[in-house]
Amino acid sequence: MNPETEYREGLDQLMVHYKEILRLLGEDTGREGLQKTPERVAKAMQILTRGYAQDAHAVLTAALFKEDYNQMVIVKDIDFFSLCEHHLLPFYGKVHVAYIPNGYITGLSKIARVVDIFSHRLQVQERLTQQIMECIQDTLHPMGTMVVVEAKHMCMQMRGVEKQNAITTTSAFSKAFNQAKTREEFMNLLRGESKRI
């Protein structure tokens, strides 16, 4: 599915509901600036939730390669944007993923695609972190997986406590990463400066 040109079932109903929401907020839905807003918002919401129509496990297995490598593989600083399921406001930041292969590796871009799929759903950061970790662990069967997510939440910045600089960090890990030494190695590599290529 190309989210810019193909939309899921229900688009017309979404447009009707968004028009009614604008009216209930006190807007004149007939004025020039708002005439196409219900359509634009409906399409945007389908794009922002396209992860519901995608299979993260299939993405990983599409690029699965047998490889005799059993050291840590890290893909860090994966940018993401998601929608908080409590207020439908964005939260955004970076995801860092590590896994220790157990006979198989996957294409590096596929790790970023997994992040993209789970972040394009209504989420809470804790569940997003866990889903990414479980998908990689359950699909690749590595010796261990660890995921760290760092994010800013617009529901904290724009409303409520209105704290613009608060960052939330969550982590999820399995198997080999249950050992503090392995987790520490991952965290030290995350903190290290990236070499210029």
Q: Is 85 assigned a catalytic role?
A: yes
Q: Is 141 assigned a catalytic role?
A: no
The active-site residue out of 27, 155, 157, 185 is: 155
* Token pair recorded at residue 61: 């297995």
Q: Is 153 assigned a catalytic role?
A: yes
Q: For the chain, percent helix, then strand, then coil, each to nearest 5?
A: 45, 25, 30
Residue 139's SS3 state is helix
The active-site residue out of 6, 85, 126, 184 is: 85
The active-site residue out of 6, 20, 35, 86 is: 86
Q: Is 86 assigned a catalytic role?
A: yes
Spell out the residues 6+ positions from residue 88 whose beta carbon is closer than 8 angstroms to its own: 122
The active-site residue out of 17, 57, 87, 141 is: 87
The active-site residue out of 123, 125, 131, 137 is: 125
| Closest alpha carbon to 153 in 123, 177, 109 | 123
Q: Is 135 assigned a catalytic role?
A: no
Q: How far is CA 164 from the centre of its chain?
A: 21
Q: Report how far residue 16's alpha carbon sits from residue 141's, in angstroms, rounded to the nearest whole number.
A: 45
Residues classed as catalytic? 84-87, 125, 153, 155
